[in-house]
Amino acid sequence: MQVCSLTASDLACRRGERVLFRGLSFALAPGDALQVTGSNGVGKSSLLRIVAGLLRPFHGSVTSEGAVGLVDERPALDPQLPLGKALAFWAGFDGIGFVARESISDALGLSGLLDVPVRYLSTGQKKRAALARLLGQQASVWLLDEPLNGLDTAANKTVETLIAEHCAAGGIALVASHQAIALPSPQRIDLAEFAP
């Protein structure tokens, strides 16, 4: 895994005329996991989008080293394609071979769904497919927005195990979730504490 780091300095986020949070800072090194909690609408998803570079902060800055991968409510998979072809499309960009794709699909319980069009997958199946896409990216910094939404108990454990293995290998995980999730040596930030 490539060397990685993630630092946020004095971040503020505004939606329209409303400031969601301000004064948020953190620094993550290889092996670190940070859970960001808070009620709906407090800015958890916006924070991840800022860190991913998809949204400009109202104030402050983010610096990162290493490839960054984001999993949010949009799985970034063509809804018309069967899941196997949708994942194969991205695998071509990510440079992973067939055997690695099969291994990832097996690990996430997707092997029996590869012929099913993405649009017919359940919420939990789409979440697992998005995680398969993330694993294929081999990103060292994971940004996970509500990664347990729609998952059953067994899938929850799988996701927690994948995060633990990622961090043990020197990766970083930034997890936005209002749900309880087992993270390795977790740090926690409640965004409500940074409300203006």
The lowest-confidence range among 68-72, 92-96, 138-142 is: 92-96
DSSP code string of 61-86:
EEEEES-EEEE-S---S-TTSBHHHH
Please name the amino acid found at residue 60. Answer: G
User: Is 89's pLDDT higher than 90?
Assistant: no
Rounded Cα distance, 146 and 152, in Å: 14
**Mean pLDDT, the chain, integer:** 90
The widest CA-to-CA distance across the chain, in whole angstroms, is 50
pLDDT band at 51 (very low <50, low <70, confident <90, very high): very high
Domain ranges of the chain: 5-194
Tell me the pLDDT band of 75, cut-offs 50, 70 and 90: confident
Determine the average pLDDT of the residues in 107-117.
89
Give CA–CA dist 129/18, Å, rounded.
34
Residue 97 predicted with pLDDT over 80: no
User: Looking at the predicted structure, is the pLDDT value of residue 101 above 70?
Assistant: no
Mean pLDDT of 58-66: 96
Q: In sequence order, what are the beta bridge partners of 186?
A: 33
**pLDDT higher at 28 or 137:** 28
What confidence score (pLDDT) does residue 34 get? Answer: 96
Q: Is the model's pLDDT at 1 over the cut of 90?
A: no
Would you say 141 and 69 are in contact if contact means Cβ atoms under 8 Å apart? yes
Question: Does residue 95 or residue 113 have the better pLDDT?
Answer: 113
From the number of C-beta atoms within 10 Å of its C-beta (0-12, 13-18, 19+), residue 63 rates as exposed
Q: Which parts of the chain fold into alpha helices (H)?
A: 44-52, 83-94, 98-107, 123-137, 153-168
**What is the pTM for the complete model shown?**
0.92
pLDDT value, residue 138: 85
Confidence of residue 3 (pLDDT cuts 50, 70, 90): confident
Tell me phi and psi for residue 173, to 5 degrees.
-130, 120
**Do residues 105 and 132 lie in contact, with contact meaning Cβ atoms separated by under 8 Å?**
yes
**Percent of the chain having pLDDT more than 70?**
96
Residue (of 23, 34, 24, 29) closest to 6 by Cα position: 29
- According to CATH, the topology of domain 5-194 is Rossmann fold (3.40.50)
| pLDDT value at residue 103 | 80
pLDDT number for residue 26? 97
pLDDT bucket at 76, cuts 50 / 70 / 90: confident
**pLDDT of res. 88:** 86
